[in-house]
Homo-oligomer: A and B are copies of this chain.
Amino acid sequence: MIGAVEAGGTKFVCAVGDASGQLLSEERFPTTDPQTTLAAMVASLRRQSAATGPLSAIGVGSFGPVELDRTSPHYGYIVRTPKPGWAMTDLAGTLAREFGCPIGFDTDVNAAAIAEHRWGAARDVADLVYVTVGTGIGGGVVLGGKPLHGLLHPEIGHIFPRRHPLDTEFKGTCPFHGDCLEGLAAGPAILARSGASLDRLPDGHPQWEIQADYLGQMCQALVLIVSPRRIIMGGGVMNQTRLLPMIHARLQHWLQGYIDRQDLLGPAGSFIVAPGLGAQAGVLGALALGVAAGGY
């Protein structure tokens, strides 16, 4: 049995599953302060594993930024976050002390990217980006089947797209950057600019065009910098799947045919896709990290 923790900024999902990607049980609870939330996480995994059998490894996909450098004294921590109280929270260490088993640890979006590669919409390609557009914008990168870390890990949400001609006045909602991508195109930005979430705005409302353009610019930067074979786009805002072909069209606009690959130039639907695992990508990503940590 493998434990899985999807540590999100608004909710935690704790689950137990097996190495084939089958979840046997799952619990979820809101993210409050670190003490309460970590205690609930430990209790949840204990309760579930009492029913399913002892855990031989646990995987954690966490909101961040997180520390992924194994030589750092803060490995496995959420190191810095605008979320009050959560900076320097030791997630992986807490689980290791409580359960005494190997812990896999990565960003929530790297975890989702791994799960989509292992069990979802990117089983046939080893180079992919998983992007979530919800209360924030984050991206996980898998290259050659392995998650990209480097100095820290990707933080794709904070690049700066060019401002859309229909959106020159809005100041953006990112507390760090104002009008970075997250500040222009995450859920709170849509609400602040247009007064409603995307699903409540009619076809033809400028928000649709603005949204597709900013995310298309993001895809262009991803294509030119990490050269993925597929981009998977999930999160609450992307539940509006009619955005996908609109983003594809804006990617073409910004690339201007420069990357001569049928994967990119062909019809919409194969390069920029919805998650194969739907809303389960996060928790299955955590499970995949646990599977890898356990050596299965």
Interface residues of A, count at CB 8 A: 48
**CB contact between A162 and one of B162, B224, B260, B263 (< 8 Å): that residue:** B162
Of residues 128 to 151 in A, which have CB atoms within 8 Å of B's CB atoms? 139, 141, 143-144, 146, 148-151
Interface positions, chain A 36-65, Cβ under 8 Å from B, are 65
Closest approach, in angstroms, between the C-beta of A146 and any C-beta of chain B?
8
B224 and A151: CB pair below 8 A?
no
> A241 → chain B, closest Cβ, in Å?
23
Cβ A150 vs Cβ B127 within 8 A: yes
B177 and A256 contacting across the interface, CB-CB below 8 Å: yes
Contact of B159 with A225 in the complex, beta carbons under 8 Å: yes
Q: Does A227 contact B (CB under 8 A)?
A: yes
Chain copies in the assembly? 2
A225 is contacted by which of B144, B161, B217, B225 (Cβ under 8 Å)? B225
The contact of A154 among B80, B224, B229, B258, by CB within 8 Å, is B224
B176 lies within 8 A of A257 (CB): yes
Residues in B neighbouring A155, C-beta threshold 8 A: 224, 227, 258-259
- B225 near A151 (CB under 8 angstroms)? no
Shortest CB-to-CB span from A261 to chain B, Å, is 6
A-B CB contact pairs (8 Å), 16 listed:
A127-B150, A141-B225, A149-B227, A150-B226, A150-B227, A150-B229, A152-B259, A155-B227, A155-B259, A158-B258, A159-B220, A159-B221, A160-B254, A162-B162, A162-B163, A225-B226
